[in-house]
Structures are given as structure tokens and as C-alpha cells.
């Protein structure tokens, strides 16, 4: 059974530098939780703090309600899957999986039974006697998962374990991991810089920028209503327009930009006169009809790349700024030529304005 | 073979191949094969006055080897040398394993450099001088005795140089590097995540060493032990300078034979010692289940 993990005001300092600062997250028991962020944002540090390889400089980590300070990684109810898997190369698959049980002095008979169960769970039939070096990438992955699950952890920590696999295998292992998580009911804490991975697998996602958690929410909430400019630009493709707020209209704001004036959602309730950034997802941009008056943008097509189900069109304005739209291939769209003058529109509901700052370096 | 030749030709050129063949050939033939054969030849001939060399008495015989196997004192010294060299090897291993692990997996940055320097600096001084230093430290009115008397721990000086203790101590000190570096080298290549993974799965530190570090470091341990043992069994300086009459070393017996102009007997004894070292090396390989190829890495 999974246990919950509480991070209370957790900070980790290396010398003068904070790798993590004032982190407050409550991960529920049995949840699949992902920390998503660019490399160097401190997500691996968080994982190592939870696993007990180090203690936080400040704050508290609780697992199953119990304070973990001073408890070493060998005595925590966690198990970690390393980025490079860290399988033991001089041991067979069975010995690898049974390692955690062996060092806990579990009897040989019990150990063999548990190892067999796990080999079945992760679908590794017939490889038990082989050396790790004889396995394929996907099989190694499964050995690492089985080895970690063998010690019956309440919390499984995964440090980008899929990053070394090719795309097809990665997609397959994502589904597999999700499946194993549901079957075992263990709390999974997953670290990744790959947004698709985080969005597809997780119950909830914590988006991190440099040492800080920017937003914790369900994947669709993260994508549709990002709380900060960092989240909006890091998760998913997005168009960015800078502008000044010239009018407030309830939950909406009107911004004057170099491209024209646009209405959009104002979730942070930014006040009139401030400079801020508008975010618009490419799939919420459409070709404008004659009658459309609001949020229309005149531009020229630059490149059109047809991807089958949709086409990605890059547009440029007179100011030479880029803008992308994604047109669904549903038959309603006329064929566009490169260099064509067109007008596009977006709904004020699908665009939002957020305070400047914190955007990641693309 | 053809492939090997073609690759060599492409990478080195004809001149390169000739240069390497000649230098390696000269080294192997003149430095290894010929001296050993001459020694071996000596060991099989009886000691004769100059005028009888090449005469009817100058024939191959195993007499010199029989002398060794029938001389109980020399046999005893031989086995004592093996036993003491084993002790030197074990003491050096138990000192060097933690040092090598600390250097390879715990220490970081400048600390590693400093420690390395600390290990190497003594080797800037000649081995004989280092052994003389130990002589001074361990002498009856030497630094160690004076310190112990000053601290009131002992009343009268202890004769540290009785028995084998001083020789074993001096040798362990002299050969530490030969044990540290092979082990350090293999430990360096151990992925630190494996230690973390083992720890994370609940293993205690002794367990991690037994199950993860030692199996990985096996080739290095085998090399270190072989080198230390051979050096210890084959040195004459340490027993000569630090030894007492009761710590006579087999090399000293060989040395005495040569000094007494009985080169033939000395050569036979030297051959026996060399055979011992070869046997020991293969025993180590077997014990650690390491191949000859891994040993040279």
C-alpha cells in the first residue's frame, strides 16, 4: 500500500546556492505524481531528499505522517529507480531483483517466490538466470522496476528512467508504468523534463522552475490554466505576445500590443497600465471569417508543415514576429500557400494574460 | 591474423611496425629471455674451479636443487618468507582497501589530489633511505622508544627489531602504493549509483562492500596482492636493513650464495623463488576468478 509524502517548507542549500527553496507539496497515498521541469530545476534534488540520500537544509519531509529526518535511505519506506537504472552488472536478473530481500535476510524460499511473482508482474519470463548485460533496454527497465518493487516500498521514486529508450519503447513503458502503479497501489513520484510523459502518466503534476514549485495540479488544469508565465511557456507549445493592459473588463483584460489590441482572460487580476504577456495555444488559433471583429491578427504564412491529422502553420506579422497555429485536417480549411496574406483569430476564452518573468530559456 | 596485420599497417605504417617490433623484441629477448636462460643454465651446472669449466665435469645436473630440498634451514627460511610475505600482503590489503575506496568514491576535488600527493611523496625518496628512516624510528634509542618513554608508557626501550615485526612493517609501508593504485583504479570505474541503489534497497555498509564493491574491485585486489606479494618475497633491502638474525629472508640466502661466489646454487634458489611467485600469481587468479587479461587492465 502506498503512503502519502508531505514536503513542508523544504529547502536544500549547497553552499550559497539553493537547489530547492520553500517547497510545499502534499503527495497523496497511491497517487502518480510527477515533478516536471527543465534540467537543473532541482527536481532530482527533491527526489534524493525524499529517498534519504540527504536531509533538507530546512523544512520537513513526512512519509506516512512520520518525520523522516535522520532516517537513512536504507530505512525509509521508499525505493528508487535511477536514471541509469544502476542495475548490478555482476548479478543475474534474479539476484538483482532479490537483492533487497536478501539484505533484509528474507529466507531463500520466500525470496524465490517473491522474485517469481515480480518477474511475472513486469513480464520478464525466462530471463531470470541471465546476466543484466544480456538484456535489451526495455528488459533492463523492467528489472529495475521489479528490483525496486521487491522491497514492498510505500513510495516508488523514479528519476527519468525512460529517457534512454527510443520513442516507441518509451510510449510502451509509459503505459506499462501506469499499469503497474494501478495494480500495486504504490505512490509513484516521477521526475521528468518531458512534458508529454508528465501529462500522460500522472494524476497530478508539479511544475518546477529554478528550485521552486510553480504550480501543482491535474495535467489538464496545468495545460489549460497555467498559473504563471513559466508554466504557460514550459508546458506545451504556446504563442507569446507582449502588451500593456489598457482596460479591465471583469475577468478579462484588453491589451494593446504591437500586433493590435486583444481581449484575454486575466486570472492573476493584473491591473490597468501594467505590461504583461499574452499566451495563446496554437490549437486555439483559427482562420478568421469576414464577420470576426475581436482578436483578429493580420499576417502572412511563412511555413506550412503537414503532419497528417493536422498542419502546423507558422505566421509572421509585419513586425517579423512569429506565431504558430495548428489547423485540424477536418476538410473545412482551404489549402494555404506559403507567403499568403491571411487573417487569424482566437477566442478571448482561450487566451490569457500573465505577469512577466520566469519564462524559461527556450 | 590478416586483419590484425592490415589494421596495424594502416595505423602505424611500415616504419612504425618495424620500430615497435624491434624495441619490444630487444626488450623481451635481452631483458627477459636471455638473462633468465643464463640463470637457469647456471642453476643446472655444478660450481667448478675456472680451469674445469667446459671440462668433463661441467654437465647439467639437478644437484643444486637437491641442496635446497635437503637443507632444512633453507627450506624453513623459504616457507617463513612465504608466510611473512602473505602477512605483508594481507596487512597492506586491509590498510589500502579503505584508502582506495575513500579516494575513489568518497573524497572529492582537491582532497583527492592532496591525498594522492601524500601517498606519492614518500616515493620521491629512494627505498633504501625510507628503510633507513624506519631504522631510526625503531632503533633502541630511536624516536618511537623515546616518545613512549617520554609519555611514561614504558620504562625501558623495547627492541622493536626482534623477530619479523619490523621487516613486515617496513615492507607494508614500502609497497602501499602497489596495493592502493590497482584497487583505486577499478573502484574508480564503479558507478556510484550502484552504491546508492544498494543502500536504498536496505543494505548495510559492510553488506554493500561485500556484495557490490568487492566483486567489482576483484581484478584490482588480485593485481595489488600479486604485486605486493612478489615484491615482498623478492626484496632484499628491507630484511637486510630492518631485520634481525631471526628474520632471515630467502632473498638473503640467495644473496649470500652469490656473495660467496656460488652463483650456481644462488641461481637455483632464485629459480625456486621465481617459480613460487608464478605459482602465487596463478593461485590469485584462480582464487579471484580473474583472467590473465583482466589482470593486465
Nearest-CB residue to B200 (from A79, A87, A104): A79
Chain B nearest-CA residue for A51: B200
- A311 lies in some domain: yes
Range of the domain at A90: 5-231
Task: Say what the pLDDT of residue B297 is.
Answer: 53
Q: By the 8 A CB rule, do A343 and A334 touch?
A: no
Q: Which three cell numbers stand for residue B77?
A: 627460511
Q: Taken in order A286, A289, A295, A297, is the CA torsion positive or negative? A: positive
Q: By the 8 A CB rule, do B208 and A96 touch?
A: no
Q: Are residues A225 and A242 in the same domain?
A: no
Q: Tell me how far CA of residue B282 lies from CA of B27, B235, B289, in angstroms.
A: 24, 20, 10
Q: Are residues A166 and A255 in the same domain?
A: no
- Domain boundary residue among A231, A265, A282? A231
- A265 lies in some domain: yes
Distance CA B122, CA A331 (A): 83
Q: How are the residues of chain B apportioned to helix, strand and coil, as percentages rounded to the nearest 5?
A: 80, 0, 20
- A93 lies in some domain: yes
Distance CA A268, CA A57 (A): 32
Q: Are residues A169 and A248 in the same domain?
A: no
Q: Are residues A41 and A82 in the same domain?
A: yes
Task: Say what the pLDDT of residue B34 is.
Answer: 95
- Domain boundary residue among A231, A264, A285? A231
- Three-state SS string over A83-115 comes to CCCCCCCCCEHHHHHHHHHHCCCCCHHHHHHHH
pLDDT band (50, 70, 90) for residue A157: very high
List, in sequence order, the alpha helices (H) in chain A: 43-51, 93-102, 108-121, 137-150, 167-184, 195-201, 219-224, 229-234
Distance CA A65, CA A4 (A): 7
Distance CA A230, CA A271 (A): 20
A160 backbone dihedrals φ, ψ, rounded to 5°: 45, 50
CB pairs A-B closer than 8 Å: 62
Q: Are residues A120 and A153 in the same domain?
A: yes
Residue A236 neighbours by CB under 8 Å, 6+ apart: A195, A223, A281
Instruction: Tell me B61's DSSP state.
Output: -
Burial of A362: CB neighbours in 10 Å, binned 0-12, 13-18, 19+: exposed
Q: By the 8 A CB rule, do A8 and A23 touch?
A: no
Chain B nearest-CA residue for A96: B198
Q: Are residues A94 and A214 in the same domain?
A: yes
Mean pLDDT, range B23-45, rounded to an integer: 92
Burial of A82: CB neighbours in 10 Å, binned 0-12, 13-18, 19+: buried
Lowest mean pLDDT among A187-191, B47-51, B130-134: B47-51
Q: Are residues A149 and A278 in the same domain?
A: no
Asked if the C-beta of B70 comes within 8 angstroms of chain A's C-beta atoms, the answer is no
Q: Residue A179's domain is classified under what CATH number?
A: 3.40.50.300
Distance CA B1, CA B12 (A): 16
Mean pLDDT, range A82-101, rounded to an integer: 93
Q: Residue A328's domain is classified under what CATH number?
A: 2.40.50.140
Quick check: helix, strand or coil at residue A341? strand
- A170 lies in some domain: yes
Task: Say what the pLDDT of residue A268 is.
Answer: 85
Cβ separation B198–A82 shorter than 8 A: no
- A168 lies in some domain: yes
Q: Are residues A260 and A188 in the same domain?
A: no
Prediction pTM value: 0.81
Which residues in chain A have Cβ-Cβ distances shorter than 8 Å to B193?
Answer: 82-84, 86
- A362 lies in some domain: no
Q: Are residues A143 and A217 in the same domain?
A: yes
Q: Tell me how far CA of residue A66 lies from CA of A4, A24, A60, A70, B94, in angstroms.
A: 10, 16, 10, 12, 40
- A92 lies in some domain: yes
Q: Are residues A19 and A168 in the same domain?
A: yes
Q: Which three cell numbers stand for residue B14?
A: 611500415
Domains of chain B: 72-295 (1.10.3720.10)
Task: Say what the pLDDT of residue B294 is.
Answer: 65
Task: Say what the pLDDT of residue B240 is.
Answer: 86
Q: Tell me how far CA of residue A117 lies from CA of A175, A243, B4, B296, in angstroms.
A: 20, 59, 49, 42
Look at residue A211 and tell me whether its pLDDT is greater than 60.
yes
Q: Give me the helix-helix angle, B127-138 and B143-150, nearest 10°.
A: 30
Mutate to test the interface with A, among B108, B200, B217, B290 (most CBs of A within 10 A): B200
Q: Are residues A85 and A199 in the same domain?
A: yes
- Domain boundary residue among A188, A215, A231? A231
Using alpha carbons, select from A100, A102, A173, A105 the residue that is nearest to residue A136. Answer: A173
ipTM of the complex: 0.81
Asked if the C-beta of A54 comes within 8 angstroms of chain B's C-beta atoms, the answer is no
Total domain count for chain A?
2
- A360 lies in some domain: no
Quick check: helix, strand or coil at residue B243? coil
Cβ separation A88–B200 shorter than 8 A: no
Task: Say what the pLDDT of residue A360 is.
Answer: 45
Look at residue A362 and tell me whether its pLDDT is greater than 60.
no
Q: Are residues A244 and A133 in the same domain?
A: no
Structure-model confidence comparison of residues B62 and B297, the more confident one = B62
Amino acid at each position: 500500500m502506498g503512503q502519502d509524502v508531505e514536503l513542508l517548507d523544504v529547502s536544500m542549500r549547497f553552499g550559497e546556492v539553493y537547489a530547492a527553496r520553500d517547497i510545499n507539496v502534499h503527495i497523496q497515498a497511491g497517487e502518480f505524481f510527477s515533478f516536471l521541469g527543465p534540467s537543473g530545476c532541482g527536481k532530482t534534488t527533491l527526489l534524493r531528499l525524499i529517498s534519504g540520500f540527504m536531509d533538507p537544509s530546512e523544512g520537513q519531509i513526512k512519509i506516512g505522517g512520520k518525520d523522516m529526518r535522520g532516517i537513512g535511505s536504507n530505512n525509509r519506506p521508499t525505493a528508487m529507480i535511477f536514471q541509469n537504472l544502476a542495475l548490478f552488472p555482476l548479478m543475474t536478473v534474479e539476484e538483482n531483483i532479490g537483492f533487497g530481500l536478501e539484505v533484509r535476510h528474507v529466507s531463500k524460499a520466500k525470496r524465490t517466490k517473491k522474485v517469481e511473482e515480480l518477474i511475472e508482474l513486469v513480464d520478464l519470463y525466462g530471463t531470470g538466470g541471465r546476466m543484466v548485460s544480456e538484456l535489451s533496454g526495455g528488459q533492463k527497465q523492467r528489472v529495475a522496476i521489479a528490483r525496486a518493487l521487491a522491497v514492498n516500498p510505500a513510495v516508488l521514486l523514479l528519476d527519468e528512467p525512460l529517457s534512454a529508450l527510443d520513442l516507441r519503447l518509451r510510449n510502451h513503458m509509459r503505459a506499462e508504468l501506469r499499469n503497474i502503479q494501478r495494480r500495486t497501489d504504490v505512490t509513484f513520484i516521477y521526475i521528468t523534463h518531458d512534458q508529454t510523459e508528465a501529462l500522460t502518466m500522472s494524476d497530478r503534476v508539479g511544475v518546477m522552475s529554478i528550485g521552486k514549485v510553480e504550480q501543482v495540479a491535474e495535467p489538464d488544469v496545468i495545460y489549460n490554466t497555467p498559473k504563471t508565465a513559466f508554466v504557460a511557456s514550459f508546458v506545451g507549445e504556446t504563442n507569446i505576445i507582449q502588451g500593456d493592459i489598457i482596460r479591465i473588463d471583469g475577468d478579462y483584460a484588453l491589451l494593446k500590443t504591437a500586433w493590435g489590441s486583444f481581449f484575454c482572460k486575466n486570472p492573476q487580476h493584473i491591473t490597468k497600465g501594467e505590461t504583461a504577456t499574452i499566451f495563446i495555444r496554437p490549437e486555439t488559433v483559427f482562420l478568421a471569417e469576414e464577420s470576426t471583429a475581436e482578436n483578429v491578427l493580420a499576417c502572412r504564412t511563412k511555413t506550412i508543415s503537414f503532419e497528417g491529422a493536422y498542419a502546423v502553420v507558422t505566421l509572421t506579422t509585419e513586425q517579423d514576429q512569429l506565431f504558430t497555429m495548428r489547423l485540424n485536417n477536418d476538410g473545412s480549411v482551404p489549402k494555404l500557400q506559403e507567403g499568403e496574406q491571411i487573417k487569424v483569430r482566437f477566442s478571448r476564452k482561450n487566451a490569457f494574460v500573465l505577469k512577466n518573468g520566469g519564462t524559461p530559456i527556450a | 591474423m590478416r586483419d590484425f596485420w592490415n589494421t596495424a599497417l594502416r595505423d602505424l605504417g611500415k616504419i612504425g611496425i618495424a620500430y615497435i617490433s624491434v624495441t619490444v623484441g630487444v626488450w623481451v629477448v635481452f631483458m627477459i629471455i636471455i638473462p633468465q636462460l643464463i640463470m637457469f643454465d647456471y642453476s643446472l651446472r655444478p660450481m667448478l674451479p675456472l680451469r674445469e669449466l667446459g671440462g668433463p665435469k661441467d654437465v647439467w645436473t639437478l644437484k643444486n636443487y637437491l641442496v635446497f630440498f635437503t637443507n632444512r634451514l633453507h627450506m624453513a627460511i623459504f616457507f617463513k618468507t612465504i608466510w611473512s610475505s602473505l602477512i605483508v600482503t594481507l596487512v597492506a590489503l586491509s590498510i589500502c582497501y579503505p584508502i582506495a575506496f575513500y579516494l575513489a568514491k568518497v573524497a572529492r576535488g582537491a582532497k583527492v589530489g592532496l591525498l594522492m600527493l601524500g601517498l606519492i611523496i614518500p616515493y620521491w625518496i629512494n627505498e633504501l633511505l625510507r628503510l633507513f628512516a624506519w631504522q631510526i624510528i625503531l632503533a633502541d634509542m630511536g624516536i618511537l622508544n623515546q616518545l613512549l618513554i617520554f609519555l611514561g608508557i614504558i620504562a625501558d626501550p623495547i627492541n622493536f627489531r626482534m623477530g619479523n615485526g619490523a621487516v613486515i612493517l617496513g615492507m607494508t609501508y614500502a609497497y602501499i602504493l602497489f596495493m592502493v593504485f590497482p584497487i583505486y583504479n577499478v573502484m574508480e570505474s564503479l558507478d556510484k549509483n550502484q552504491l546508492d541503489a544498494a543502500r536504498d534497497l536496505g543494505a548495510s555498509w559492510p553488506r554493500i562492500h561485500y556484495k557490490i564493491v568487492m566483486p567489482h574491485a576483484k581484478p584490482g585486489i588480485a593485481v595489488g596482492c600479486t604485486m605486493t606479494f612478489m615484491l615482498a618475497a623478492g626484496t632484499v633491502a628491507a630484511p637486510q636493513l630492518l631485520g634481525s638474525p631471526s628474520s632471515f629472508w630467502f632473498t638473503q640466502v640467495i644473496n649470500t650464495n652469490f656473495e660467496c661466489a656460488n652463483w650456481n646454487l644462488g641461481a637455483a634458489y632464485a629459480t625456486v623463488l621465481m617459480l613460487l611467485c608464478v605459482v602465487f600469481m596463478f593461485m590469485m587468479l584462480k582464487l579471484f576468478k580473474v583472467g590473465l587479461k583482466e589482470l593486465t587492465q
